[in-house]
Amino acid sequence: MTETTHTQPMPPKGAAKSRSPEFRLAEDALRGLRQDLIHDAFAYRPLPRMSVDGRFTRRLSPRLREYAAWAPHAAVLMGALWAMLISASGNDSGGRFSSLLMVLLAVGPILLTLFRPVGAFWCSMMATPVAAAFGDSWSDWPWQTGSFAGHLVVLTVVALRTRPRTAAWMWALTGSYGFVVESVLGAGHYSSNTGPMMTMSAFLLLGATVFHIRHAAQREVTAQQTVTAHERSKRTLLEERTTIARELHDVVAHHMSVVAIQAEAAPYRVENPPPELEQAFATIRENAVAALTELRRVLGVVRAEDYEAPDTPQPTLADIDGLLANVRDTGLTVEKVVTGAVRELPQGIELSAYRIVQEALSNTLRHAPGATARVEIGHVLGGLGVRIVNGPPTGLVKPSPGAGHGITGMRERVTMLNGEMTTAETDDGGYEVTVFLPVPLTDDPA
């Protein structure tokens, strides 16, 4: 029988010993204390003015909003005034110097919170024993009346200006000071106010912590809403571009099909065509067929899974009357005016013009219920002008909120055709959309 002995390898000299979880917890706590209340304790951090973009402040007049921005500073000054009155009333029996000193020790740290918040806490802690030494009240121990009120104000302001962990450290140091002073120097005093100090400061610091958490949550929600709105805008833009690509597929496919058919039939219209001409038309037809194949492949990429190809041809300007008839059935009074020599335009131009009119009238129905609208189509030399204008909303129906995606879609169509588009509110409270789509004179209509 063989006996095997296992020897535990000795750790190398100089290696760090493993530390217990309790030691690491205490080390982290001291590191947090040093970071929150010791490191750069007297750094200059002026109290910023309040934002005036809130729910209530934005309704104020410009002059009142300027004053409202200083509300935090006014609140600190009111706290200092409150502590001063309490300190003055609690030291009536003392001399003039003692009363003035009590007031300064109570108000000074509060005013310091406007510029050096963490340093103001340490000044308040150091002012407390000084006020106790010069005070004449034996019932208020270890905080004199003015020091009690001033320290509460300092704790609240510093907690609001720093993070919640700092509030916890200040509360713990305040309690430690009270219990240590009571144990060492508490003889001869009738009562102690450490308990009331810890209770009242706990409620105040808890309120400041809740304010911090709520404010942080609001900032996070606002940031998330901003990101969501940006992503929604990008998605809407891509969806609109995809829709335009789907619609223009039929237009481009029609023209390419005509090219392929004409190239195939062209040699039969000429008696005894030369071989070079036949080869040229065959090449044209092959290129047209290849372009159609690539076009269908690209359309398959941008087409959604639930997309169904339309059974009817894409609309043109000739279908505007039917669109206006449907809109009138919904209760919108709309008028159409056509100027210039009406002519057949490229199908892409007519399709985009139809969609722009359709979207503008839809926006009128949503945002200006009960209003009247006017559609102006002008055939001018070198292009097509479209203007849709509506009056202000009337009646009892409230306008529906929108995200402005309709304007984005119209602008995308105009940009694709190298056109120009302007939108603006009218003098009577309505809205106007003006579009110009250029049509080169060399373009032949489909």
HEC-encoded secondary structure of 53-73? CCCCHHHCCHHHHHHHCCHHH
More confident residue, 230 or 333: 333
What is the C-alpha separation between 87 and 140, in angstroms, rounded? Answer: 12
Number of Cβ within a 10 Å radius of residue 270: 11
Three-state DSSP state, 255: helix
Written as six digits, the tokens of 52 are: 């005036």
Q: Is pLDDT at 255 greater than 90 in this prediction? A: no
In what helix (H) or strand (E) does residue 423 lie, and over which residues does it extend? strand 420-425
Q: What is the DSSP letter of 286?
A: H
Give the global pTM.
0.55
pLDDT per position as a tens digit, 409-426: 788 888 888 899 999 998
Q: Is pLDDT at 15 greater than 60 in this prediction? A: no
371, burial (CB in 10 Å: exposed 0-12, middle 13-18, buried 19+): buried
In what helix (H) or strand (E) does residue 433 lie, and over which residues does it extend? strand 431-438
Q: What percent of the chain has pLDDT over 70?
A: 80
Written as six digits, the tokens of 317 are: 């300007």
Q: Is pLDDT at 52 greater than 70 in this prediction? A: yes
Written as six digits, the tokens of 60 are: 């104020």
pLDDT, mean of residues 357-379: 88
pLDDT per position as a tens digit, 182-227: 888 765 666 788 889 999 999 999 999 999 888 888 888 888 888 8
Written as six digits, the tokens of 295 are: 């076009």
Q: Is pLDDT at 320 greater than 80 in this prediction? A: yes
Written as six digits, the tokens of 277 are: 């001409």
Across the chain, what does the average pLDDT equal?
A: 80
Q: Is pLDDT at 92 greater than 70 in this prediction? A: no
Q: Is pLDDT at 445 greater than 60 in this prediction? A: no
Q: Provide the pLDDT confidence category of residue 382 given band limits of 50, 70 and 90.
A: confident
| Residue 165 pLDDT | 86
| Residue 444 pLDDT | 45
Written as six digits, the tokens of 383 are: 């292009």
pLDDT per position as a tens digit, 372-381: 999 999 998 8
Q: Provide the pLDDT confidence category of residue 118 given band limits of 50, 70 and 90.
A: very high
pLDDT, mean of residues 356-382: 88
Three-state DSSP state, 5: coil
**Residue for token digits 């603006």?**
424
Q: Is pLDDT at 266 greater than 70 in this prediction? A: yes
| Residue 1 pLDDT | 38
Smallest CA-to-CA distance from 147 within 73, 94, 197, 96 is with 197
What is the C-alpha separation between 103 and 89, in angstroms, rounded? Answer: 10
**Mind spelling out the 3-state secondary structure of 180-210?**
HHHHHHCCCCCCCCHHHHHHHHHHHHHHHHH
Question: Could you tell me if 353 and 317 are in contact, meaning their C-beta atoms sit under 8 angstroms apart?
Answer: yes
**Residue for token digits 């009960």?**
370
pLDDT, mean of residues 42-52: 88
Q: What percent of the chain has pLDDT over 90?
A: 24
Written as six digits, the tokens of 127 are: 């002012």
Q: How far is CA 77 from CA 114, 144, 151, 349, in A?
A: 9, 21, 14, 67
Smallest CA-to-CA distance from 41 within 153, 131, 169, 151 is with 169
Is the sign of the CA dihedral 365, 366, 371, 374 positive or negative?
A: negative
pLDDT per position as a tens digit, 62-91: 888 888 889 999 999 999 999 998 888 866
Q: Is pLDDT at 159 greater than 80 in this prediction? A: yes
What is the C-alpha separation between 106 and 86, in angstroms, rounded? Answer: 9
pLDDT, mean of residues 26-33: 70
Which amino acid does the sequence have at 256? M
Written as six digits, the tokens of 417 are: 């055709």
Q: What is the DSSP letter of 371?
A: -
Question: Could you tell me if 37 and 169 are in contact, meaning their C-beta atoms sit under 8 angstroms apart?
Answer: yes
Question: Could you tell me if 259 and 288 are in contact, meaning their C-beta atoms sit under 8 angstroms apart?
Answer: yes
| Residue 368 pLDDT | 83
User: Maximum CA pair distance of the chain?
Assistant: 131
pLDDT, mean of residues 108-135: 90
Smallest CA-to-CA distance from 437 within 367, 357, 324 is with 357
107-111, 185-189, 206-210, 390-394: segment of lowest average pLDDT: 185-189
